[in-house]
Chain A
């Protein structure tokens, strides 16, 4: 019997997902440098990557990239398992569910902007749920909901447009077309 060696085999697809997650991570670090007027109001630039991955490689790949980004990001920012981590996690999970639902919308009528806006609303819904159920169980939180919702609409639309722009460029540059 030989000594057991644990060898993780990785496919080129895994490497690709990891690269995408790394790009998303870079964007979240970049965005951490942008000052915000209210904690919790962030552009969510990393979601641009999620949108592109969703369009090209499907929902499962988007789940991988999004969750890898949340977990690796929390290690990077030093808030793994801290309240901020659970806020990101619930936001990401809700967004992914919204994205899964958005895939059933006819692609002829609904593009990345719709997906992005829906995901952004789901994101704040997930976060506010954690805030309300766990962190601040006070009805005063409701007062901030319109602010977060407005931010979600604006940043969701902006991220969707950016993602659409990138995908358009990619289509022009190669024969490969996003599904």
Chain B
């Protein structure tokens, strides 16, 4: 088998493997989020990078909603809304994921990457 492969062939094979690695990065990890957008009452309350861990208190008509940013993910930690859907949704990590807290009128949305899908409509 070795005598059929010339040095340049190895180069081409390595190059091909490298290109595939690059393609996997580009086409499969395009949904990686890098920013979080928090809206209150339909207006953007805060746009922050996911790279820095922090805790944010967002005021709404029912009270304070607590948003946690940690290790490139974000979640609603506490919310005064009765059904707690946005809290139960847990960690958001992909671009386009949204947690909506109603009736406190607060939403947490992740964005970034190349192909962004709107997870509410898509």
Contacts and interface: CB of A to CB of B under 8 A. Distances in A.
A112 B115 CA distance: 38
B120 interface: no
Contact of A106 (B8, B17, B19, B23): B8
Given A114-B9, A142-B27, A157-B13, A149 B4 contact: no
Contact of B23 (A149, A156, A168): A149
Given A139-B115, A143-B27, A160-B9, A153 B4 contact: no
Interface in A77-102: none
B9 A153 contact: no
Chain B, interface size: which category? 20 to 34
A113 B12 contact: yes
A72 interface: no
Interface string A133-153: 000000100110110011011
Interface string B1-15: 101111111011100
A57 interface: no
A110 B6 CA distance: 6
A149 B12 contact: no
B20 to A, nearest CB: 5
Interface of B: 1, 3-9, 11-13, 16-17, 19-20, 23-24, 27-28, 115
